[in-house]
Chains A and B, each alone.
Chain A
């Protein structure tokens, strides 16, 4: 290999240091693999820290009738049966063990009166199932995993961005990256690569997601030849802040409703009675988000275009104890005391159900040697994710990905790196520096966000999405002509020019899949096809790179075994 590049070699390279990446790294280390973790941010800042409500796991500490079967059933129903049933089964069966393990690694959950892990109610879950730490469960999880991994001895490459996956024939062979601090390139050679890069929210302007959520993992996997699946299923969380403008989109945890919060419109009506009288505020996220959207659209919204969410009927001390960050968030950012008055909330882009297509047991993608877990992977959540199922997803499939990646590394010889891929990746990443007088990449990003918000939002229709494809093509052209000021040292404009490419790829994948699926299911709502279609219910949407074009097809869901059908048929 050319000595122009700093090179590191690992059995397993984990991309992303959130819950899934750290859990994968810990498992691979436990298998004796040498593990490198690459992270765009500093260790411990990953998006997982923002997870508030809890980890769904059928521990049955509070409701003794809970078990893996009800959890499986809730997950499948919440996902409108499009879920990979095997993933949903493994997830429901293994989540309690993963939570106990986390506790034994030092995580301190809130307790029941008899000294066990406390569980709270959440949307779409039949039983009280979410293990939590107030409303900062994700922070507890990331610190626990971070500490364990650091002391087990993984190498962490912080503030390092992957720009290209390297392949050796039909297998993944590593990655090309650059240090954000210096702008210098670095090559990772690895027998297995685990993508744990999270979601794509930054392609929309109103989102609860951090800057990191630019769809890098999905776009990199796609470019390297892996398939993406169910990209049309993008979750709008029903409750983001709507006022003041600076805080628009910041998440208001579902735990507010889990703890008894009530939604009302400007006329004081508890409007969920009209949309889901049985489950009310604790209906699934797709239903609640559409309900709020509809109330606002039909003129019953609040002053700033949202709904009221009220928890002030609960004792002030209880609210402060169970929802401390919400209390401070509203007090400091919106001048609202939630123990006394209602919050104003509206939908905010929150989560990507689709992603890299993986096998249930191993989390391996369609590209050998490339694995994916957490939000970057598709399958578990189907057409809509239940709250709390994300943190458990990270643990269950992070572990499985780490295990399978380490196993794969044991069984395969070291790959060969192709210098041509490295040099072309390098020159592509630097291309914006070569151009003079082009646009600021941030301007292209703003326009991309407008296109996705206006044309590929909560409710979709053919004309809009066709228009979006035309706009995306123009934006791609503009993105290819941006230019950069300054040097390669910690230069956010340059970083944006690279991330823009990922966002454009995933935005196109979302739009094409959404246009193809002519039905409404879970988070995908078509104005022109408002009903569930039994036929579409048997198909996953698959996206792959077909030369320079985006290939699109439908694959049939695998047949569910009789015993799982039986579990679904039981009502309780």
Chain B
């Protein structure tokens, strides 16, 4: 049976090193299978997050040969043969142990987003055409690969000012819901810092659900922010109306 050489990061928040493991390769095997083999036979204390092993839960994210991937969907035969396979944790989040990172920041950001709030008197009659667009955003499995590659977080550490692509997709899924009656534009501008995104599309490239994050979620949301806060005509109207009202 063929064998693969894996170089897996082992360590914790204080640092660590890559450790080599030899793993037998079976047809159709994915990187997560190799990590399970290591746990089962070579290093039972190797920390890995995973749940479904079917690409539906988004738990097993890691950087494989430098590319952020779901390890359950990364086939061994899609990687260069006769070269070691490196597996390291997501860089953007603090390491807890081995391949497991602390993603709790994401849950804090999610809490800031006002939940679905139906329009008063919503009829609950709406059509497939109304939902096609929104259903795309709701495919998100929260693997946080988009957060991991976003340079605003990865390179500039703007955790306090920025929400990240995952939560722009989340807001899009709520704001474009045909029955939702709340505007989250102010939140996008201020708390989630959507202006910091300069649409490099890195997030879209790594999305395992093929969500067009930049084109379908972020850009339309940026347009909403611009319309509401930076449209000169509207601004003048608001100034006048605001002055009258006070």
Q: Which residues of A contact B (CB under 8 A)?
A: 41-47, 49-50, 100, 103-106, 108, 110-111, 113-116, 118, 133-134, 136, 139-140, 143-144, 147-148, 150-151, 181, 208, 210-212, 243-247, 250-251, 325, 328-329, 332-334, 440-443, 446, 484-487, 489-494, 496
Q: Are A442 and B41 in contact (CB under 8 A)?
A: yes
Which residues of B (48-66) have their CB < 8 Å from a CB of A? 48-59
> Which of B45, B48, B73, B97 counts the most A-chain CB atoms under 10 A from its CB?
B45
- B163 nearest CB across to chain A (Å): 15
Q: Are B56 and A139 in contact (CB under 8 A)?
A: yes
Q: Are A42 and B28 in contact (CB under 8 A)?
A: no
Please measure, in the bound complex, the distance between the C-alpha atom of A447 and the C-alpha atom of B130, giving whole angstroms: 52
Q: Is B43 an interface residue (CB 8 A)?
A: yes
B interface, over-half SS = loop
Which residues of B (20-58) have their CB < 8 Å from a CB of A? 26-30, 33, 39-41, 43-58
B94-131: CB near A (< 8 Å → 1, else 0) gives 00111010010001001100011010000011111011
What are 18 A-B contacts defined by CB distance under 8 Å? Answer: A45-B59, A110-B128, A111-B126, A111-B130, A113-B127, A114-B125, A133-B135, A134-B135, A151-B111, A210-B50, A211-B51, A212-B51, A243-B28, A332-B73, A440-B44, A443-B40, A486-B44, A489-B47
Contacts of A440 in B (CB 8 A): 40-41, 44
Contacts of A491 in B (CB 8 A): 44-45, 47
With A333-B73, A485-B44, A490-B100 known to touch, is A47 a contact of B51 (CB < 8 Å)?
yes
Q: Are B135 and A50 in contact (CB under 8 A)?
A: no
Q: Are A42 and B110 in contact (CB under 8 A)?
A: no
Least CB separation from B103: chain A residue: A42
Q: Is B75 an interface residue (CB 8 A)?
A: yes
Contacts of A496 in B (CB 8 A): 44
Contacts of A41 in B (CB 8 A): 49, 51, 59
Apart from A104-B118, A442-B44, 6 more pairs, CB < 8 Å: A113-B127, A147-B115, A210-B53, A246-B27, A332-B73, A494-B45
With A41-B59, A49-B52, A485-B45 known to touch, is A490 a contact of B98 (CB < 8 Å)?
yes
Please choose the segment from B79-87, B137-145, B152-160, B188-196 that sits at the chain A interface, where 4 or more of its residues have CB less than 8 A away.
Answer: B137-145
Least CB separation from B50: chain A residue: A211
- B244 nearest CB across to chain A (Å): 36
B158-194: CB near A (< 8 Å → 1, else 0) gives 0000000000000000100100100000000000000
Please measure, in the bound complex, the distance between the C-alpha atom of A103 and the C-alpha atom of B179, giving whole angstroms: 10
Q: Are A246 and B128 in contact (CB under 8 A)?
A: no
Q: Are A489 and B12 in contact (CB under 8 A)?
A: yes
Contacts of A329 in B (CB 8 A): 54-55
Contacts of A110 in B (CB 8 A): 128, 131
Q: Are B51 and A111 in contact (CB under 8 A)?
A: no
Please measure, in the bound complex, the distance between the C-alpha atom of A80 and the C-alpha atom of B99, giving whole angstroms: 46
- B81 nearest CB across to chain A (Å): 17
Least CB separation from B113: chain A residue: A147
Contacts of B124 in A (CB 8 A): 100, 103-104
Please measure, in the bound complex, the distance between the C-alpha atom of A487 and the C-alpha atom of B58, giving whole angstroms: 27
Q: Are B55 and A328 in contact (CB under 8 A)?
A: yes
Q: Are B180 and A150 in contact (CB under 8 A)?
A: no
Contacts of B53 in A (CB 8 A): 210, 250
Least CB separation from A151: chain B residue: B115
Q: Is B134 an interface residue (CB 8 A)?
A: yes
Partner of A115, one of B27, B50, B115, B125: B125
Q: Are A484 and B44 in contact (CB under 8 A)?
A: yes
Least CB separation from A494: chain B residue: B45
With A333-B75, A446-B40, A491-B45 known to touch, is A150 a contact of B135 (CB < 8 Å)?
no
Please measure, in the bound complex, the distance between the C-alpha atom of A113 and the C-alpha atom of B129, giving whole angstroms: 10
Please measure, in the bound complex, the distance between the C-alpha atom of A273 and the C-alpha atom of B47, giving whole angstroms: 49
Q: Are B46 and A50 in contact (CB under 8 A)?
A: no
